[in-house]
């Protein structure tokens, strides 16, 4: 899920399908399509104009155009409520895009990159989580808000916070604060990491790893990766999906911690109940991604059909990026107060620095990496 509007977490929990009437989704989905197409053709038009006028300007990617157009609309005229149900489906398109993107990965590379990034994720999570919990205490935030911020920053942004809220019995206000702070960071990362990556001279593979490790929400992670390059976007999606797959274990850990202190519901003893808990939190679209990757690895797709699936993925991501912009509302963010935001900014800086260090260490010193 994403971005900076601060709706109640109940609204967000099933944010992709918020209406019982299928027709209610049509206007918003059409808006996503229009903004996506505007973004795509703005890139083409901008490049043609620059060429015609002999300007030396950077190539502004369709990803950025789509996000900025959406962002301008939502922060100026606003999004009418008739569009809301359809606009909220952007997470649905994101996941379709991720599953279809499986066709561009050989299963062996997925397992290899997933395995190596798992080590980086665990180190990143442990260091960042500990620092965020410490910073939360330093700024006088509640223990549970600190836990939510640590979970959101180290794992999977808003979805992880929502998944944890019930398990650790956090208050609505704590979840809303954590959501707002995490969402603000997604927007910050989106606009800062790609230029930083170019400045540092990261390769596509390195930047994809960095974005996958450092950016909290899957939609923003995907956008950040694709803003750098298509190859970086693919790697970012894979690493982030690995991160997402760990959500159940992390939430279980925090739930057990708070239950032991008598401040959350007890989880039934035994392996089966814990395995059930982890499965309930597991992001099932990761299984779809692996299945499509297996199909591609088995050679069941012609070259043309493989390209078709890759293009399905690009179209789905285009709608996602439009949705990211439309859901980034800075006015609502400003209402949430500065302290959770400061802790989250510390979290972003820590996660970005630690993950960049890990990426450079593993790729340039240890020589880890795969080619996709």
What is the distance between the alpha carbons of residues 161 and 170, in angstroms, rounded to a whole number? Answer: 10
Q: Is 1 helix (H, G, I), strand (E, B) or coil?
A: coil
Ranges within 4-23 binding another protein (CB under 8 A): 9-10, 13-14, 16-20
300 binds another protein (CB under 8 A): yes
Query: Does the footprint of another protein cover residue 295 (CB under 8 A)?
Result: yes
Distances (CA, A) of 173 to 161, 176, 265: 12, 5, 19
Residue (of 188, 189, 187, 158) closest to 175 by Cα position: 158
Judged by CB under 8 A, the residue of 2, 5, 43, 103 near another protein is 103
Interaction of residue 315 with another protein, rule CB under 8 A = yes
Other C-beta atoms within 10 Å of 113: how many? 23
Count other C-beta atoms under 10 Å from residue 173's C-beta: 12
Which residue in the block uniquely carries the two structure tokens 């400061």? 342
Interface residues for another protein in 275-294 (CB under 8 A)?
A: 280-285, 287-288, 291-292
Verify binding: residue 143, another protein, rule CB under 8 A: no
**For residues 233 and 321, what is the distance between their CA atoms, to the nearest angstrom?**
13
Identify which range of 118-126, 208-216, 260-268, 305-313 contacts another protein by CB under 8 A.
305-313
x/- site string to another protein, residues 181 to 210, per CB under 8 A?
A: ------------------------------
By the rule CB under 8 A, 273 interacts with another protein: no
Q: CB neighbours of 107 closer than 8 A, spacing ≥ 6? A: 290, 293, 294, 296, 297
Q: φ and ψ at 335, to 5 degrees?
A: -75, -10
Nearer to another protein, 38 or 334 (CB): 38
Q: Near another protein by CB under 8 A, which window of 53-61, 131-139, 240-248, 333-341? A: 240-248
Residues within the interface to another protein (CB under 8 A):
1, 9-10, 13-14, 16-20, 91-92, 94-96, 98-100, 103, 156, 159-160, 162-163, 165-166, 218, 244, 247-248, 280-285, 287-288, 291-292, 295, 300-302, 304-309, 311-312, 314-315
């Amino acid at each position: 899920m994403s971005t900076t509007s601060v709706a109640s977490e109940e609204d967000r929990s099933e944010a992709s399908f918020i209406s019982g009437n299928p027709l209610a989704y049509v206007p918003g989905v059409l808006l996503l399509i229009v903004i996506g197409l505007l973004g795509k053709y703005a890139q083409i038009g901008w490049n043609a104009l620059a060429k015609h006028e002999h300007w030396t300007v950077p190539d502004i990617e369709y990803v950025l155009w789509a996000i900025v157009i959406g962002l301008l609309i939502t922060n100026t005229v606003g999004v009418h409520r008739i569009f809301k149900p359809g606009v909220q489906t952007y997470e649905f398109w994101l996941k379709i895009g991720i599953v279809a993107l499986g066709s561009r990965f050989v299963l062996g590379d997925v397992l290899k990159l997933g395995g190596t990034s798992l080590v980086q994720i665990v180190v990143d999570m442990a260091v960042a989580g500990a620092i965020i919990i410490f910073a939360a205490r330093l700024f006088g935030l509640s223990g549970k808000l600190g836990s939510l911020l640590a979970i959101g920053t180290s794992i999977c942004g808003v979805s992880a916070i929502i998944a944890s809220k019930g398990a650790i019995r956090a208050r609505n206000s704590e979840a809303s604060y954590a959501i707002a702070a995490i969402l603000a960071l997604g927007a910050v990362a989106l606009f800062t990491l790609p230029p930083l990556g170019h400045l540092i001279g990261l390769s596509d593979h390195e930047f994809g790893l960095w974005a996958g490790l450092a950016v909290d929400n899957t939609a923003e992670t995907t956008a950040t990766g694709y803003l750098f390059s298509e190859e970086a976007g693919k790697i970012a999606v894979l690493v982030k999906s690995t991160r997402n797959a760990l959500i159940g274990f992390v939430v279980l850990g925090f739930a057990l911690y708070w239950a032991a202190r008598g401040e959350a519901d007890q989880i039934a003893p035994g392996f089966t109940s814990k395995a059930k808990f982890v499965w309930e939190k597991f992001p099932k679209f990761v299984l779809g991604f692996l299945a499509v990757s297996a199909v591609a690895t088995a050679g069941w797709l012609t070259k043309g059909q493989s390209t078709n699936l890759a293009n399905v993925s690009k179209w789905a991501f285009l709608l996602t990026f439009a949705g990211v912009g439309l859901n980034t509302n800075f006015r609502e963010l400003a209402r949430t107060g500065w302290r959770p935001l400061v802790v989250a900014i510390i979290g972003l800086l820590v996660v970005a620095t630690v993950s960049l260090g890990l990426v450079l260490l593993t790729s340039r010193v240890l020589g880890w990496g795969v080619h996709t």
